[in-house]
């Protein structure tokens, strides 16, 4: 299992998938949720999402919920490790945004 304290830089697809999986969702649900959250900007492709889900399952960041008998669709949900990973990514993004804001916005004023 990955140590969430490590300096991991997540891809946009992985970060949004982790956000979406704060509630249980199946593959198509993740795609729709991501599209809604990003106001239609980020449209995850099925191939990318499949790769991201397989990798996150291996790392233990998300888990598959037991399948319902009448459904072929698998649902996934974030794990505690996944939540820690998402939080450390959020901190990294805050740092990026703060530094960007300080330097880019200040240079525009001058």
Partner 1 sequence: MTKTVRKIFFLWEYEKEEAWMLVHTGFRKYEFEKGTPGAYTYRLELLEKDTHAPESKSYLDFLQETGIEIVGECLNWVYLRCKTADCKFDPGTRPLYKLTHLLKIQDFFNTIRLIFIIAIALCIVGIFILEHPQPTPVIDFFKGFCVGISLAASVIMLLAAPYFHHINKKVKAAIKDLYTCS
Distance CA(21)–CA(75), nearest Å, equals 9
State the nearest-atom distance from the C-beta of 48 to partner 1, in Å. 6
SS3 23: coil
Select from 58, 83, 82, 63 the least CA-distant residue to 74. 63
**72 touches partner 1 by CB under 8 A:** yes
By CB under 8 A, name the one of 12, 67, 80, 95 that touches partner 1: 12
Q: Which is nearer to partner 1, 23 or 73 (CB)?
A: 73
**26 touches partner 1 by CB under 8 A:** yes
**28 touches partner 1 by CB under 8 A:** yes
- The stretch among 16-24, 47-55, 60-68, 79-87 that binds partner 1 (CB under 8 A) is 47-55
State the nearest-atom distance from the C-beta of 11 to partner 1, in Å. 5
Within 8 A by CB and 6+ apart from 30, the residues are: 17, 20, 21, 44, 49, 53, 76
Q: Is 6 left (phi over 0), alpha (psi -120 to 50) or beta?
A: beta
**40 touches partner 1 by CB under 8 A:** no
Residue position matching structure tokens 């992985």: 14
Q: How many residues touch partner 1 (CB under 8 A)?
A: 16
């Amino acid at each position: 299992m990955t140590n969430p304290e490590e300096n991991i830089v997540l891809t946009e697809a992985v970060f949004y998938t982790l956000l979406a999986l704060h509630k249980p969702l199946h593959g198509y649900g993740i795609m729709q949720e991501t599209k809604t959250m990003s106001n239609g900007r980020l449209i995850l492709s099925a191939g990318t999402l499949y790769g991201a889900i397989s990798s996150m399952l291996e790392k233990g960041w998300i888990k598959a919920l037991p399948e319902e008998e009448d459904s072929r669709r698998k649902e996934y949900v974030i794990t505690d490790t996944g939540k820690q990973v998402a939080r450390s990514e959020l901190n990294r993004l805050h740092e990026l945004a703060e530094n960007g804001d300080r330097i880019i916005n200040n240079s525009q004023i001058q």
